[in-house]
Amino acid sequence: MSSETFVKPGSGGTSFLGNAVPRREDLSLLQGKGGYVANIPMEGAVYAHFVRSSISHGEIVSVETGEALKMPGVIAVHTAENLGLSDREVILKVYESGMTRPYLARERVRFVGEPIAVVLAENEYLAADAAENIWVEIEPLKPLVDLEKAVDGEVLLFPGLDSNIVTEIPKRKEVDFSDCEVVVEAEIMNSKVAAVSIEPRVTMASYEDGRLTCWASNQGAHDYRDSVAEALGMEVKDVRVIITDIGGGFGVKGLASEEEIIIAHLSRLHEKPVRWMESRTENLTGFAHGRAQKQKVKMGGNRNGKITHYSLEVIQDSGAYPKWGAVLPGSTLMMASGVYRIPNVEFSSRSVATTTAPVCAYRGAGRPEATSVIERTVDLFARKIEMDPAEVRRLNFPNREEFPFRNSTGTVYDSGDYEKALDKALNVIDYEGIRSEQNRRRDENERLQLGIGISTYVEVTAGGGGGEYGLVELKNDGTFIATTGSTPIGTGHVTTWAMLVADRLGVPMEKVEIVYGDTDKVPSGEMTGGSRSVQVSGSSMVDASEKLVESARKAAADLLEASEDDIVLNKESGDFHVVGTPTVSISWEELASSTSVDQKQLIGASDFSQEGATFPFGAHIVIAEVDIETGATTIQRVIAVDDAGKIVNPLLATGQVHGGLAQGVAQALLEEISYDSEGNPQTSNLMDYTAISAMELPSFERISMETPTPLNPIGAKGIGESGTIGSTAAVQNAVIDAISYLGIDHLDMPLTPQRIWAAISSRSA
């Protein structure tokens, strides 16, 4: 792991932007004082417990609740018949209108884990006991797990429709590969995974005096509020959402889920505070999954290494009910050609419903899928023409002078230097030496074989650009309040926003209070996701701070009896003075306490809006060792070059890369949500779903690189998902490179010891 020089923010003076400032959020968490929903006291609260389907697809014959209602402490039992909520319309309007979701299953269940009934009781134990005494009879129907069969439509999940296709992207043009000297083809499965946030879904709601308050573990307070208000038919002004600390989001905690809306509804219905926290099994089987693409890929070019043609067909698993996952192929399309100049590219996708849990956005959301398939295919292409995979990549990069660069699917990359990123990664390792050692081990048929995996990537962040609410105001005591519409999700927002505001105002960070996550205190806000925070929300903080400085200059000019044009802010001292006369000055504190200054004017409201998306990029190299007798893999080194433009705080950026690498390596080696042919989950707990731990991960080596974007005043791009996007393909390529001399060209993720051993054994036989 790269070392950082820590900087303790002082009293104005030299800018600490670009330095490793320790997180100010962590002390309360380390002391056990975090504001997690499960820890918030609420007198008189009752507890909810859901009864879930154990059948993947079937007709509901009956739901018997009589015994449960007689049990001690039970307040109510609700099914679809007495819940009083209309079916939920699909989240995005591009889906088939007939694919609505009942909040509690009505007439039919479509995946194991779908909620059928909910119990309210005086405590969580009584609620769970009562749920065990609700008897559900289901007449099984044919399951639908296979994606090809879902496309064929022999089994229909929604009888009113004639297809399981949720949405599709047709081919825009046919690509003719007949002129290619070399063509490689493959079918690749980008496995279904779970986010496995440390904190599962947890919520609490209280209804009082016609107003509903929800405490949530979610990535966007205002989006959560809006989805609750819409479902319950309430005015948004009558719904308050509070978010303080959340134990991981990773994309799946966007908007309010069906169960969370039910909890809000039950609080209003029974006029009692209601709490709910899902179990780990509920989280793994009944919540959202990620990735889940079946990819058919074809690449062509010449024997000198030039790639000229590329085709990608995707079948996206959407799960039983359409969520964000069904439109993620749109992001895969944007990034289909990766970092390469490929003149002929075609893409098509079909998103299908299956009898599995819904698929949602998960760290990277469509972009890791694009990177993984093209980087895997480039290695296949390089292997076929017997050329070094690093050299093939270098031959097909656009030059730095070509940016902004339009790829073959029409996406315009703002800035980049892909060859420099690859060279930086290669220079850290003795590439030729490792290749030589690899050949020696192969020649001597050693048990532990060496593999080198390369992944060069580009991704899109802050898709569509846009703005974020930002307000900075001077308080009467000379301190500042900075209000943001973004919701921190554990990524260091409070520290980052305080750094940006303090830097622009010339004051210590300790004087800046950050307000967020409460819809009564923050008038508007966007969901935190898509790696948009620093570039959009951070720029709004900068913009608001600069507008406050302008307002303060006017006030200081009046007090100093000078022209406003002659007043400057000395950031070294945090004082306003006339140009050339620093000894006569007005401090922020003096402005705050002055009776002749209209304090209501000492605010800055942002109107910043970023015109478009930014495109971070990088190169990851993984060195892996594979035991050819057992299939066990050891990751020896991970080198990560991630360029996300200007970095505000390298400590926080490194933390984001760290987490991203862990999740990328996890998908490549270990993690997969799996179902049997009947649609039964095979990974319903953390014994079966092998989430990664520190034991499987080496320390990583991060190499800094900054190519600023011109689209925002900071010059920043997003970095929250880069580690995941680059690392997955690098690990997969490294493992396959280690065993490729045995005639193994490709293996799907996860590259478990069993899968590797089976492939080697098959080749040996």
- Burial pattern 588-623, b for ≥16 Cβ within 10 A else e, equals bbbbbebeebebeebbbbbebebebbbbbbbbbbbb
- The per-residue pLDDT for 592 is 95
Q: Tell which CATH architecture fits domain 26-34+464-510+529-610.
A: 2-Layer Sandwich (3.30)
What is the spatial distance between Cα 55 and Cα 43, in angstroms, rounded to a whole number? Answer: 37
Name every residue whose Cβ is closer than 8 Å to that of residue 529 and which is 6 or more positions away in sequence.
219, 220, 249, 251, 254, 361, 365
Domains 26-34+464-510+529-610 and 38-141+201-277 belong to one CATH topology? no
**Angle between helices 753-764 and 722-739 in degrees, nearest 10:** 30
- The per-residue pLDDT for 591 is 96
Q: What single letter denotes the amino acid at residue 238? A: D
* Parallel, antiparallel or unpaired: strands 700-704 and 633-643: parallel
Render 423-491 in DSSP notation, one character per residue: HHHHHHTTHHHHHHHHHHHHHTT-SEEEEEEEEEEE--BSTT-EE--EEEEE-TTS-EEEEESS---SS
Q: What single letter denotes the amino acid at residue 336? A: A
**Long-range residue pairs from 65-68, CB within 8 A, at least 24 positions apart, any chain:** 65/117, 65/134, 67/133, 67/134, 67/135, 68/119, 68/130, 68/131, 68/133, 68/134
pLDDT at 11 over 50: no
Each domain of the chain, given as residue ranges in start order, spans 26-34+464-510+529-610, 38-141+201-277, 367-461+614-764
pLDDT at 619 over 80: yes
Q: What is the mean pLDDT of residues 264-269?
A: 98
Q: What is the mean pLDDT of residues 109-116?
A: 98
Residues shown for the chain? 765
pLDDT tens digit string along 374-432?
A: 999 999 999 999 999 999 999 999 999 999 999 999 999 999 999 999 999 999 999 99
Render 568-599 in DSSP notation, one character per residue: EEETTTTEEEETTEEEEEEEHHHHHH-TTS-G
Please state, in angstroms and as integers, the Cα–Cα distance from residue 538 to each residue in 658, 706, 709, following that order.
22, 17, 14
- The per-residue pLDDT for 96 is 55
pLDDT at 104 over 90: yes
**Long-range residue pairs from 552-561, CB within 8 A, at least 24 positions apart, any chain:** 552/474, 552/576, 552/588, 552/591, 552/602, 554/601, 555/591, 555/594, 555/597, 555/598, 555/601, 555/602, 556/586, 556/591, 558/596, 558/597, 559/586, 559/590, 559/591, 559/594, 559/596, 559/597, 560/584, 560/586
Tell me the β-bridge partners of 193: 290
- The per-residue pLDDT for 95 is 61
pLDDT at 13 over 50: no
pLDDT at 688 over 90: yes
What is the spatial distance between Cα 155 and Cα 352, in angstroms, rounded to a whole number? Answer: 12
Show the tokens assigned to 516: 């967020």
Please state, in angstroms and as integers, the Cα–Cα distance from residue 758 to each residue in 185, 447, 473, 632, 633, following that order.
22, 16, 64, 12, 14
What is the spatial distance between Cα 274 and Cα 124, in angstroms, rounded to a whole number? Answer: 11
Name every residue whose Cβ is closer than 8 Å to that of residue 758 and which is 6 or more positions away in sequence.
631
As a dihedral over the C-alpha atoms of residue 538, residue 539, residue 545, residue 548, rounded to 10 degrees, the angle is -140
**Angle between helices 367-384 and 722-739 in degrees, nearest 10:** 30
What is the spatial distance between Cα 622 and Cα 257, in angstroms, rounded to a whole number? Answer: 37
pLDDT at 172 over 60: yes
Q: What is the mean pLDDT of residues 120-131?
A: 98
Reported as a pLDDT band with limits 50, 70 and 90, residue 1 is very low
- Burial pattern 276-302, b for ≥16 Cβ within 10 A else e, equals bbbeebbbbbbbbbbbbbbbebbbbbe
Show the tokens assigned to 607: 């109107």
Secondary structure, 3-state, 161-196: CCCCEEEEECCCCCCCCCCCCEEEEEEEEEEEECCC
Closest by CA to 733, choosing from 389, 448, 400, is 389
Name every residue whose Cβ is closer than 8 Å to that of residue 276 and which is 6 or more positions away in sequence.
47, 48, 49, 50, 201, 202, 203, 204, 259, 260, 263
Reported as a pLDDT band with limits 50, 70 and 90, residue 90 is low
- The per-residue pLDDT for 599 is 85
CATH class entry, domain 38-141+201-277: alpha beta
Name every residue whose Cβ is closer than 8 Å to that of residue 160 and which is 6 or more positions away in sequence.
98
Fold of domain 367-461+614-764: Aldehyde Oxidoreductase; domain 4 (3.30.365)
What is the spatial distance between Cα 342 and Cα 615, in angstroms, rounded to a whole number? Answer: 18
Give the residue ranges of DSSP H helices in 602-752: 650-669, 722-739
Please state, in angstroms and as integers, the Cα–Cα distance from residue 573 to each residue in 12, 13, 277, following that order.
6, 6, 49
- The per-residue pLDDT for 379 is 98
pTM reported for the whole predicted model = 0.95
pLDDT tens digit string along 452-476?
A: 999 999 999 999 999 999 999 999 9
Tell me the β-bridge partners of 313: 296, 348
Cα Rg for the chain, rounded, in angstroms? 28
Name every residue whose Cβ is closer than 8 Å to that of residue 737 and which is 6 or more positions away in sequence.
379, 451, 452, 453, 624
Residues 470/537, Cβ–Cβ less than 8 Å: yes
- SS3 call for 138: strand
What is the spatial distance between Cα 558 and Cα 575, in angstroms, rounded to a whole number? Answer: 15
pLDDT at 138 over 80: yes
pLDDT at 92 over 90: no
What is the spatial distance between Cα 111 and Cα 509, in angstroms, rounded to a whole number? Answer: 50
Reported as a pLDDT band with limits 50, 70 and 90, residue 97 is low
Secondary structure, 3-state, 279-319: CHHHHHHHCCEEEEEEEEEEEEECCCCCEEEEEEEEEEEEE
- The per-residue pLDDT for 5 is 52
Name every residue whose Cβ is closer than 8 Å to that of residue 722 and which is 6 or more positions away in sequence.
457, 459, 531, 616, 618, 642, 644, 656, 657, 660
pLDDT at 218 over 70: yes
Tell me whether the omega of the peptide bond preceding residue 750 falls within 30 degrees of 0, making it cis.
Answer: yes
Reported as a pLDDT band with limits 50, 70 and 90, residue 93 is low
pLDDT tens digit string along 568-608?
A: 999 999 999 999 998 899 999 999 999 888 888 899 999 99
- SS3 call for 257: coil
pLDDT at 150 over 50: yes
pLDDT at 6 over 80: no
Put residue 743 in one of left, alpha, beta given phi > 0 → left and psi -120 to 50 → alpha.
left
pLDDT at 621 over 50: yes
Name every residue whose Cβ is closer than 8 Å to that of residue 65 and which is 6 or more positions away in sequence.
77, 79, 117, 134
Question: Whole-number mean pLDDT of the chain?
Answer: 95
What is the spatial distance between Cα 524 and Cα 544, in angstroms, rounded to a whole number? Answer: 15
Q: What is the mean pLDDT of residues 731-750?
A: 98
* Parallel, antiparallel or unpaired: strands 202-208 and 211-216: antiparallel
DSSP one-letter code for 236: G
Show the tokens assigned to 1: 């792991």
Show the tokens assigned to 230: 């819409």
Angle at 605 between CA 600 and CA 607, to 5 degrees: 155
pLDDT at 7 over 60: no
DSSP one-letter code for 357: P
pLDDT tens digit string along 483-521?
A: 999 999 999 999 999 999 999 999 999 999 999 999 999
Q: What is the mean pLDDT of residues 263-275?
A: 98
